[in-house]
């Protein structure tokens, strides 16, 4: 392929949107992202009170995992549906379903009932990111998307920090049930803004049969694999028949899905894009970058508490520079992409910087000056932040209007799988150290650096693409 080719031009029927129209869409999307990010973290401080209130400790981890499983599995499904039916027609019912599930969680009288409510929340929540991010691709030209993606990254970072703090305050002064009741006003605001902001968007894809068989295979595969990753070492030993059986179900379902997608008349995944080297490289970068990021998010608070003797609250404050620099990196990368129209140099530089940061973190003497790991983590966060929005812009630039939602959903699914993989690998390496904490943390951060190194190789193999400055 020739170097420096131009990204896909807008499909017929695309049009330029006014600034006011763009801002209506962006405002609704920001509210959806705020809701989605809060709901992933706000429940964490409430786990002990939930255990006391519902008189059960076992399987409380599924209160967190159930939402992740169902939201991850449904993300590409919503993307595909929104291409065919329209963004608003999919997002609005999903938001209503999400709010009803919040009410079920708030009134839950048992752990299984609460887990069911969280799973149903995820079914609705899967649309919050996939459909809203695809709507950005509908109204904003490719070269301009990086600037807006920085806003979204900032909203996500804010919610990631504010979620646990808000959850702790609500749980301490009210009840864990109010965490879910307080979702309702935010969700209603998102519903109103999305109804208004997405009114002018028309379906980009042609009406076609929905690939329900592929959707079910995807749900079974992703749920089984993520369940195995979540339960390994907790509910079952890693080397056990139940773990092997769950993994086998997931892998078998995935293999059947691959074969089924090759013969489906309207496949769930964007087959044309999957055949393109640039898109495959973007997915590989996104998986590895997310794995390194979530591995570090798992390791950093433990490192600061166990090796630097910081308290829980202090360790939460100390990881804020890492989260903050991801926002700075996202904003800076968005501006550079906007000016140059190229994403490959930004992605390659970002993952290389993150790899170097995690490598230094692995080699640092532990238990010394607290500022050292905080600063090094912040440097790695700068690189990670540069990659997150830029890879999404790059994926959307490879898709025409008819595949924008499917391309976005597939990327978000890849990120979620990478995050689950990275956190699980980091935890497993820490456990395998058998109490030798310095060794465990070194192996964990070496693994994070290795994932970012693989992402760097994938980025360097990527073709250099010039983003279009027009609508599309």
Question: 274 and 258, same structural domain?
Answer: no
Question: What is the pLDDT at residue 349?
Answer: 94
Give the pLDDT band (50/70/90) at residue 70: confident
Q: What's the pLDDT tens digit per position in 386-439? A: 998 888 888 877 776 667 767 777 887 788 778 877 877 887 787 777 778 889
Q: Which long-range contacts (CB under 8 A, 24 or more apart) does 97-102 make?
A: 97/123, 97/124, 98/35, 98/124, 98/125, 98/128, 98/187, 99/124, 99/183, 99/184, 99/187, 99/188, 99/191, 100/124, 102/180, 102/181, 102/183, 102/184, 102/187
| Closest to 362 in 3D by CA, of 451, 233, 286, 285 | 451
Domain final position from 227, 249, 265: 265
Give the pLDDT band (50/70/90) at residue 47: low
Question: 123 and 35, same structural domain?
Answer: yes
Q: What's the pLDDT tens digit per position in 305-339? A: 778 877 655 655 677 788 778 878 888 887 888 78
Average of per-residue pLDDT across 2-17: 48
Question: 367 and 433, same structural domain?
Answer: yes
For residues 401 and 249, which has the higher predicted lDDT (pLDDT)? Answer: 249
Question: 159 and 94, same structural domain?
Answer: yes
Question: What is the pLDDT at residue 361?
Answer: 93
Average of per-residue pLDDT across 159-184: 78
Question: 28 and 60, same structural domain?
Answer: yes
Question: What is the pLDDT at residue 348?
Answer: 94
For residues 2 and 446, which has the higher predicted lDDT (pLDDT)? Answer: 446
The rounded distance, in Å, linking the Cα atoms of 66 and 99 is 16
| Closest to 190 in 3D by CA, of 92, 266, 335 | 92
For residues 211 and 278, which has the higher predicted lDDT (pLDDT)? Answer: 278
Q: HSE (CB half, 13 Å, CA atoms) of 271?
A: 14
Question: 472 and 443, same structural domain?
Answer: yes
Question: What is the pLDDT at residue 109?
Answer: 86
Q: What angle do CA 299, 305, 311 make, to 5 degrees?
A: 135
Question: 348 and 216, same structural domain?
Answer: no
Question: What is the pLDDT at residue 455?
Answer: 96
Enumerate residues 6+ apart whose C-beta is below 8 A from 2: none
Question: 242 and 146, same structural domain?
Answer: no
What Cα–Cα distance (Å) separates residue 235 from each residue in 60, 61, 119? 11, 10, 19
> For residue 328, is it within any domain?
yes
Q: Are 422 and 292 in contact (CB under 8 A)?
A: yes
Question: What is the pLDDT at residue 8?
Answer: 44
pLDDT at residue 161 tops 90: no
Question: What is the pLDDT at residue 71?
Answer: 80
Q: What's the pLDDT tens digit per position in 146-158? A: 666 667 767 776 7
Quick one: which H or E segment has residue 5? strand 5-6
Question: What is the pLDDT at residue 456?
Answer: 96
Domain count within the chain: 3
| Closest to 337 in 3D by CA, of 67, 85, 45, 141 | 141
Question: What is the pLDDT at residue 314?
Answer: 64
> For residue 58, is it within any domain?
yes
> For residue 7, is it within any domain?
no
Q: Given CA atoms 246, 248, 251, 257 in this order, what sign does their dihedral have?
A: negative
- Give the predicted TM-score (pTM) of the model: 0.70
Question: 256 and 329, same structural domain?
Answer: no
> For residue 8, is it within any domain?
no
> For residue 11, is it within any domain?
no
Q: Are 429 and 101 in contact (CB under 8 A)?
A: no
Give the pLDDT band (50/70/90) at residue 9: very low
| Closest to 338 in 3D by CA, of 132, 148, 136, 139 | 148
Q: Tell me, what CATH number does 457's domain have? A: 1.20.1250.20
Question: What is the pLDDT at residue 176?
Answer: 83
Question: 85 and 50, same structural domain?
Answer: yes
Question: 94 and 172, same structural domain?
Answer: yes
Q: What angle do CA 383, 470, 460 make, to 5 degrees?
A: 35
> For residue 9, is it within any domain?
no
The rounded distance, in Å, linking the Cα atoms of 321 and 339 is 27
> For residue 3, is it within any domain?
no
Q: Which domain holds residue 400?
A: 270-472
Question: 239 and 110, same structural domain?
Answer: no
Question: What is the pLDDT at residue 1?
Answer: 41
Q: What is the CA radius of gyration of the chain?
A: 21
Q: What's the pLDDT tens digit per position in 250-289? A: 999 999 998 998 888 777 777 777 878 888 999 999 999 9
Q: State the average pLDDT for the chain.
A: 79
Question: What is the pLDDT at residue 245?
Answer: 93
> For residue 132, is it within any domain?
yes
The rounded distance, in Å, linking the Cα atoms of 149 and 467 is 15
């Amino acid at each position: 392929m020739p170097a420096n080719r131009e990204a896909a031009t807008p499909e017929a029927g695309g049009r330029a949107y006014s600034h006011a129209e763009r801002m209506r869409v962006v405002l609704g999307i920001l509210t959806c992202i705020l809701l989605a990010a809060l709901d992933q973290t706000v429940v964490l401080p409430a786990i002990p009170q939930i255990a006391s209130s519902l008189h059960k400790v076992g399987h409380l981890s599924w209160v967190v995992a159930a939402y992740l499983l169902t939201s991850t599995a449904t993300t590409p499904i919503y993307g595909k549906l929104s291409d065919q039916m329209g963004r608003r027609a999919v997002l609005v019912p999903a938001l209503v379903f999400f709010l009803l599930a919040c009410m079920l969680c708030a009134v839950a009288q048992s752990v299984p009932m609460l887990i069911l409510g969280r799973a149903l929340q995820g079914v609705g929540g899967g649309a919050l990111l996939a459909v809203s991010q695809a709507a950005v691709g509908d109204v904003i030209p490719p070269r301009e998307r990086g600037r807006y993606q920085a806003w979204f990254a900032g909203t996500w970072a804010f919610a990631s920090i504010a979620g646990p703090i808000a959850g702790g305050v609500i749980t301490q002064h009210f009840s864990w049930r109010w965490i879910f009741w307080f979702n309702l006003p935010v969700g209603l605001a998102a519903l109103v803004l999305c109804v208004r902001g997405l009114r002018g968007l028309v379906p980009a894809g042609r009406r076609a049969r929905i690939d329900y068989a592929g959707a079910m295979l995807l749900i079974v595969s992703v749920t089984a694999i993520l369940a195995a990753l979540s339960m390994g070492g907790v509910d079952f030993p890693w080397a056990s028949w139940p773990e092997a059986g769950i993994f086998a179900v997931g892998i078998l379902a995935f293999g059947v899905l691959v074969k089924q997608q090759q013969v489906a008349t309207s496949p769930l995944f964007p087959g044309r894009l999957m055949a393109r080297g640039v898109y495959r490289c973007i997915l590989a970068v996104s998986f590895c970058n997310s794995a390194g990021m979530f591995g570090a998010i798992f390791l950093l608070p433990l490192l600061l508490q166990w090796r630097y003797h910081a308290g829980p609250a202090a360790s939460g404050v100390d990881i804020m520079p890492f989260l903050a620099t991801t926002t700075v990196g996202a904003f800076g990368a968005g501006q550079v992409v906007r000016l140059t129209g190229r994403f490959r140099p930004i992605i390659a530089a970002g993952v290389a910087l993150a790899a170097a940061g995690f490598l230094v973190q692995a080699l640092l003497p532990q238990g010394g000056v607290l500022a050292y790991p905080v600063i090094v983590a912040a440097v790695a966060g700068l690189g990670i932040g540069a990659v997150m929005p830029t890879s999404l812009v790059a994926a959307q630039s490879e898709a025409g209007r008819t595949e924008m939602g499917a391309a976005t959903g597939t990327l978000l699914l890849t990120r979620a799988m990478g995050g689950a993989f990275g956190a699980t690998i980091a935890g497993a390496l820490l456990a395998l150290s058998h109490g030798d904490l310095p060794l465990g943390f070194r192996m964990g951060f070496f693994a994070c650096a290795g994932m970012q190194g693989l992402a760097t190789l994938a980025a360097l193999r990527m073709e250099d693409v010039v983003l279009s400055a027009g609508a599309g």
